[in-house]
A and B are shown apart, each in its own frame.
Chain A
């Protein structure tokens, strides 16, 4: 078991204005840590900071005892972090199988890639049926499966998921939450960004609330549910 990911006093900007102003968080293995916050509060930016796509200009992000800030994205991903990005972002002109292979791009052992693919196909039999179909021609729900499967292909130690429910039917959203729970139970640390507060808090162990680039509330799921600010913002 590895140590938690420690995000400490992270400042990130696009151009001049800071979007994140001193964010501090911990993400533990074996737990689902959720990140709540309204649109534009900086959730995706925090993910971009962790992945090195928009590196923080100050602060530190330590994963498994190693500083990530300053590494390029491929160096960060190589440490065992995977991401299911906002809006799925599947490779539309690639087949389902190629999309899955992209998820294990840094895995050099073909045997491992095949074993992982087999595991994904067991979770999503639909993908096996469609494995040679171009991902862009599939339905929204199927594309969501491709995106989740791709995120799991590298057997990550930390999986970051950005708004997986966006644009899915309630039934598919329920499926999604069930699968996220399974991912966590298999030992992966899950960092879940969501707008769907009620369901998210129902499966999360702990979480943070972001507003205008600052952490305004944190605690266990139970504590967040009873937090007056969260209640006011999300449960009316």
Chain B
């Protein structure tokens, strides 16, 4: 295989890795702060994509001449803000209420919520059961060299994703609110004794995680030029796996886990060029093997490496 093609694989892997990392950060934040696995998180990514698409339709109808850059800004902001709100509503109406119930109930409830979101988009979004073309809002300039094509839109997408992840990371490690998130993740009761408003921190966490998911949804749409109602299923499974690979509750781990999963997929595609459709099977298979190989490794991480 030539160098150009390999580089192309690497670039695609990085793009996917960024998307997965954005999803995994949510899983890990929710688990860190509340010890819950929010199975609807993948579908929030999907709804975020659709919220972005809807914003685009509106803007395009009201301000047809708006530049693509401004359009993207508004699409991203509207989608992230609405998913942040959805996250807060979820936390308030379901997650916090279910805290006194067995953890299994939260799992089940969020799984059902995921189905509700998926079916709602399929049934109620105009022509929602078909894939929707996503507008190309980024410049389509590219540098082509044999098998390798360096695309400006990918570079911009990757940079925006990186900016978002770095911002979340800085917020959590450097600010007072971030310190409160970490405190709640380590010992919620003691954090409350220090004067932390527990519910507010839970809402903040869900807003952050869901906004990151919304951006992953938009990134997905811009990268594949389409979105569909079912895309959250796989993205959710991948984001969850990535968070587990990195040690649930650990932010660095989730980011690394996202890239690790994309690396596995890419490896699968490179190693099995005759059957690249099996790249997900390969990647998930390796994740299962890792977990079987080091079952206690993850549990130890879980208790020691909170946020």
Contact = CB atoms under 8 A, between A and B. Distances in A.
B294 interface: no
Interface string B186-197: 110111111111
Contact of B186 (A74, A94, A150): A94
Contacts of B183: 91, 94, 102, 105
B180 interface: yes
B41 interface: no
Given A73-B193, A77-B193, A91-B190, A105 B306 contact: no
Nearest to A89: B190
Interface in B187-226: 187, 189-198
B186 A73 contact: no
Interface in B119-168: none
Contact of B196 (A74, A83, A89): A74
Given A102-B191, A105-B176, A93 B196 contact: no
Given A91-B186, A92-B186, A93-B186, A101 B179 contact: yes
A89 to B, nearest CB: 4
A140 B233 CA distance: 47
The listed residue with most B CB atoms (<10 A of its CB), out of A73, A78, A92, A102, is A102
B195 A91 contact: no
B279 interface: no
A110 B183 CA distance: 19
Given A93-B306, A94-B179, A103 B194 contact: yes
Interface bin, chain B: 10 to 19
Given A91-B187, A93-B306, A94-B182, A78 B193 contact: no
Contacts of A77: 193-195
A115 interface: no
Contacts of A105: 176, 179-180, 183, 194-196
A65 interface: no
A102 B179 contact: yes
A53 B179 CA distance: 21
Interface string A71-88: 011100110000101000
Given A53-B189, A105-B176, A93 B194 contact: no
Interface in B293-307: 305-306
Contacts of B196: 74, 105
A98 interface: yes
Interface of B: 176, 179-180, 182-183, 186-187, 189-198, 305-306
Given A72-B197, A91-B182, 17 more contacts: A53-B189, A53-B192, A73-B195, A74-B192, A74-B195, A74-B198, A77-B193, A83-B193, A85-B190, A89-B187, A92-B186, A93-B305, A94-B186, A101-B179, A102-B183, A105-B179, A105-B194
16 contacts: A51-B193, A72-B197, A83-B193, A85-B190, A91-B190, A93-B182, A93-B186, A93-B306, A94-B186, A98-B179, A101-B176, A102-B179, A103-B194, A105-B183, A105-B194, A105-B196
